[in-house]
Amino acid sequence: MTKTNQNLSDQKLNIGLAQIAPVWLDREATLAKIILKIEEAAEKNCQLVAFGEAVLPGYPFWVERTDGARFNSQIQKEIHAHYLDQAVQIEAGHLDQVCALSAKNKMAIYLGTIERPSDRGGHSVYASLVYINSEGEIGSVHRKLMPTYEERLTWSTGDGHGLRVHKLGAFTVGGLNCWENWMPLPRAALYAQGEDLHVSVWPGSYRNTHDITRFIAKESRSYVVSVSGLMRTSDFPKGTPHLDLILENSGDVLADGGSCLAGPDGEWVIEPVVDKESLMVATIDHARVREERQNFDPSGHYSRPDVTRLIVNRKRQRIVEIED
């Protein structure tokens, strides 16, 4: 390969969109599915693979199906306790196998998790988007800033610590969880740090991704990846607490996917894919970002920091700071 061709090759990135259903609220079984998809992505020479929101170990679909707002309900307590038991504790090594595969295959990973962190006492959970770099190191853990509607009955509110971007080849990648992608200021915080590949993760909903993916791409003049999960009644393990009640109020499909990829002009690279588990792969070219920034760059030449500026607090919020 000539030096010129090598330089052109360095501007491109192979990315994978892993649309899978969890083995709901079963961390180890879901991890096994995630590992298989990472290995498939490696076989397809992906340099980045992303998974949907809360896929490990699953989205709280029970809340709206089991009278979740009833105070002091024994049903809610039992399901919530099971949720915490199956959540991810990074410090306990639950993602070590994923990190090792990342390093082995020199592939970065975005993974939506339900995190049960010890730095907030170890008994609350957060919808956390974890970025693992191609060396197998966790680069950021972004806890969802504001859980949406019924999510607030089980997820805690996050902080700005994870509003970070990461260099990946020619690209600078960042990500947000689900409806955070509708929030202008978190998007602006990532744009201002140089983001030109945006990863938005969702529990699975074509009704969301088919609009916002292209909107963010046009606003940011970046590539935008929307990665969704799936959820079908067949994905509920038989041992799920109060399964009969959950299924009684559920259709066959609870989350239909909708993973997709838009280019920096807002046009589809991969149109939304629904109702099936799939690994979608595309090669993106950083030259397209630079071309589209010619007439609009939201944090560069088309910004007015003398008029409007954003302050971001990235301090990890804790209830106690101990000084020995």
pTM for this one? 0.95
Give the chain's domain count.
Answer: 1
Work out the mean pLDDT of the chain and round it to a whole number: 96
**Percent with pLDDT over 70 in the chain:** 97
Maximum distance among all Cα pairs of the chain, rounded to whole angstroms: 68
Please give the average per-residue pLDDT across 9-36, as a whole number. 96
Q: Are residues 162 and 138 in contact, defined by beta-carbon separation less than 8 angstroms?
A: no
- Between CA 259 and CA 230 the distance in angstroms is 10
Domain that includes residue 161, residue range: 12-292
In a domain, 310, yes or no: no
In a domain, 313, yes or no: no
Please give the average per-residue pLDDT across 236-254, as a whole number. 93
In a domain, 305, yes or no: no
Residues 55-91 pLDDT 10s: 999 999 999 999 999 999 999 999 999 999 999 999 9
Please give the average per-residue pLDDT across 296-308, as a whole number. 97
Catalytic residue annotation: 53, 144, 178
In a domain, 160, yes or no: yes
In a domain, 312, yes or no: no
In a domain, 309, yes or no: no
Question: Domain holding 219: CATH number?
Answer: 3.60.110.10
In a domain, 299, yes or no: no
> Per-residue pLDDT for 6 more than 50?
no
Distances (CA, A) of 72 to 24, 68, 76, 155, 190: 24, 10, 8, 17, 39
In a domain, 219, yes or no: yes
Residues 254-276 pLDDT 10s: 999 999 999 999 999 999 999 99
To which H or E segment does residue 274 belong?
strand 268-274
